Amino acid sequence: MKISELKSNFKKTLSGLYPSEEVESFFNILSEKYLNLSRIEIALNPDKTVSEMEDEKFQKAILRLKIHEPIQYIIGETEFYGLPFKVNKHTLIPRPETEELVEWIYSEFSNQQSTINQQQFLDIGTGSGCIAISLAKYLPNSKVSALDIFEEALKIAQQNAEMNKVKIDFFQKDILAAETLPKKYDVIISNPPYVRELEKKQMQQNVLKHEPESALYVGNEDPLLFYRTISRLAKNHLNPNGKLFFEINEYLAYELTDLLRGEGFKNIQVKKDIFGKDRMIKCNLNEPAK
Ligand code: GLN
């Protein structure tokens, strides 16, 4: 079969399910992965033949796209903060908002890197490892640890650390059941589950049906459960002047600010994402020395 035929069949089959630009983008992503051909190469070689095996891969991907499986899970990888990451159904697909959180942390610590006094970072609920690994990569003089409740997620995170050539101290822990953490840190970061059950109806099928529920959702009654637990642990496990960073639910910035103030945190700062939504927060325990 010719590429041009494969492409037109692909578009026809998925046209009612996704907007046409999205179908086009799926085709390009799959061609890059399965045929090793860029969008331009395809446009220039419409008559190039696709083998039966290659065609079969596309047909399998179509079946998965029909049930709204995210393209990142189909090809098993994605990009975050300019780095490659493996993902599967045990890990959330890294979001652009989270890149903004990493950028915020990076901009604060990139000029404080010292080989003598390595800064200690901890990422709680690491999933694919995207936060921990990008910080370790771009802040090479820091020591990064990361935990997750799920062994399956930690396996992927470990592979991602190897692929990106960074060393992370990964460990398994249920943060909600944790009484302590292994040591003290200069920076504790978390992007915990924060989507309330009541917000589920605003979510897309690809997220609802395929991404790990345990990484996304919290009950309506206590949506700040993870934040409360983590901030209490952080009080005992942050070094003096240590900082806490969270990704947050855009609707809960006030409640969370109150909670952190109540726990004794200072310099609480909320930051918006590129869509203008309250998406990140940072704070510390001590007032900086004047
Ligand atoms: N921002 C993600 C979403 O809306 C949620 C991430 C999370 O719950 N930590 O899909």
| pLDDT tens digit sequence for 198-224 | 999 999 999 999 999 999 999 999 999
Asked if 264 contacts 283 with a C-beta cutoff of 8 angstroms, the reply is no
Ligand 1 centroid from CA 147, angstroms: 18
Ligand 1 centroid from CA 182, angstroms: 27
| Ligand 1 atom with the shortest distance to the CA of 98 | 1
Q: What is the pLDDT of residue 290?
A: 52
| Ligand 1 atom with the shortest distance to the CA of 92 | 6
Ligand 1 centroid from CA 168, angstroms: 24
Return the structure tokens found at 182: 């292994």
Ligand 1 proximity of 223 Cβ (cutoff 6 Å): no
Q: What is the pLDDT of residue 286?
A: 80
Return the structure tokens found at 272: 């918006």
Residue ranges of the chain with pLDDT lower than 70?
Answer: 115-116, 287-290
Task: Confirm or reject CATH 3.40.50.150 for domain 90-285, answering yes or no.
Answer: yes
Q: What is the pLDDT of residue 117?
A: 75
Burial class (CB in 10 A: 0-12, 13-18, 19+), 47: exposed
Asked if 187 contacts 122 with a C-beta cutoff of 8 angstroms, the reply is yes
| Ligand 1 atom with the shortest distance to the CA of 247 | 9
DSSP sequence for the chain: -BHHHHHHHHHHHHTTTS-HHHHHHHHHHHHHHHT---HHHHHH-TT-B--HHHHHHHHHHHHHHHTT--HHHHHTEEEETTEEEE--TTSPPPPHHHHHHHHHHHHHHGGG--SSSPEEEEEES-TTSHHHHHHHHHSTTEEEEEEES-HHHHHHHHHHHHHTT--EEEEE--GGG-S--SS-EEEEEE----EEGGGGGGS-HHHHHHS-HHHHEE-SS-TTHHHHHHHHHHHHHEEEEEEEEEE--TT-HHHHHHHHHHTT-EEEEEEE-TTS-EEEEEEESSPPP-
Return the structure tokens found at 233: 């642990």
Ligand 1 proximity of 119 Cβ (cutoff 6 Å): no
| Ligand 1 atom with the shortest distance to the CA of 195 | 8
| Ligand 1 atom with the shortest distance to the CA of 217 | 8
Ligand 1 pocket test, pick from 92, 123, 124, 279 with the greatest ligand atom count within 8 Å of Cβ, gives 92
Please name the residue whose Cα sits nearest to atom 5 of ligand 1.
216
This prediction has a pTM of: 0.94
Q: What is the pLDDT of residue 112?
A: 80
pLDDT tens digits for 225-283? 999 999 999 999 999 989 999 999 999 999 999 999 999 999 999 999 999 999 999 99
Ligand 1 proximity of 227 Cβ (cutoff 6 Å): no
Asked if 121 contacts 143 with a C-beta cutoff of 8 angstroms, the reply is yes
- Half-sphere exposure (Cβ direction) of 27: Cα atoms closer than 13 Å: 24
Please name the residue whose Cα sits nearest to atom 9 of ligand 1.
193
Ligand 1 proximity of 242 Cβ (cutoff 6 Å): no
